[in-house]
Amino acid sequence: MNYRFLIQYDGSRYSGWQKQGNTQKTIQGKIESVLEKMTGTPVELQASGRTDAGVHAYGQVANAHFKTELSFEEIRDYLNRYLPEDIAVLEVVSAHPRFHSRLNASAKTYRYRIRTSPVKDVFSRKYACSMAGPFDADRMRRAAALLTGTHDFTSFCGNRRMKKSAVRTIYDIHIEETKDELVMWFTGDGFLQNMVRILAGTLAETGLGKRTPESMTDILEAKNRDAAGITMPAHGLALMQADYEKKI
């Protein structure tokens, strides 16, 4: 059967989602090894997106084909019993035989948290990146509007040697301000390597007055990574949700 998983993890201790040989600590590797223990055979797990080292997930979706006598709840509880405490399986359901969590994803939503308060906060230290403001959120919103839509995002891609198309569609960028934080939400059909962190860095620089909102158009047209802003640190980023068309 093709099983679909809803997965949560604190990425702090991991080299990211994707398995890399035997030496690296990855989320995929940890879950696959418990699935292999459970089923007695190797299992390959596909995720909606391969999060980088240090990036968290509240709603990662993955799928895997395997056989078991266990119910959905029993699979979930088995996984949670044997997984480390910083990886959790929230839900296990059956999926269409051809369902593929990455190829069929219609949208993914990421959140980037910047702590703007000059005062330390121990409880968010692993989940928000500290950056001194003040940030002009309205400038950031005007810049975000120019980045929304279908564009070639080569300037926002961390992999300079990427040969495939860098055209992606951003459906929405939402910027929230609280007393101590600036939170950016990004929803799109797919994101290039480091793309959300570079978007967040470029928008943060715009909020600080280092760039104009209008310059976003020039950055996109440059098709050059050097035209965009900094890559924000991984720990402020989290994959919140993956969406799928109903038909599959």
Backbone angles phi, psi at 63, to 5 degrees: -140, 155
Pick between residue 33 and residue 80 the one whose CB is nearest to a second copy: 80
The CB-of-100 to a second copy minimum distance in angstroms stands at: 25
Q: Is 19 left (phi over 0), alpha (psi -120 to 50) or beta?
A: beta
Which residues does 174 contact at the CB level (< 8 Å), separation at least 6?
Answer: 184, 185
The CB-of-220 to a second copy minimum distance in angstroms stands at: 35
Pick between residue 76 and residue 108 the one whose CB is nearest to a second copy: 76
52 is catalytic: yes
Pick between residue 97 and residue 119 the one whose CB is nearest to a second copy: 119
Locus of tokens 């940890």: 30
SS3 of 104, please? Answer: coil
CA 48, 49, 50, 56 dihedral sign is negative
Pick between residue 9 and residue 99 the one whose CB is nearest to a second copy: 9
d(CA 144, CA 126): 26
The CB-of-109 to a second copy minimum distance in angstroms stands at: 17
d(CA 223, CA 137): 26
The CB-of-215 to a second copy minimum distance in angstroms stands at: 33
Which is the catalytic residue, given 52, 121, 138, 243?
52
| Interacting residues toward a second copy by CB under 8 A | 8-10, 58, 76-77, 80, 85-91, 118-123, 125, 127
Give the residue numbers annotated as catalytic, written as ranges: 52
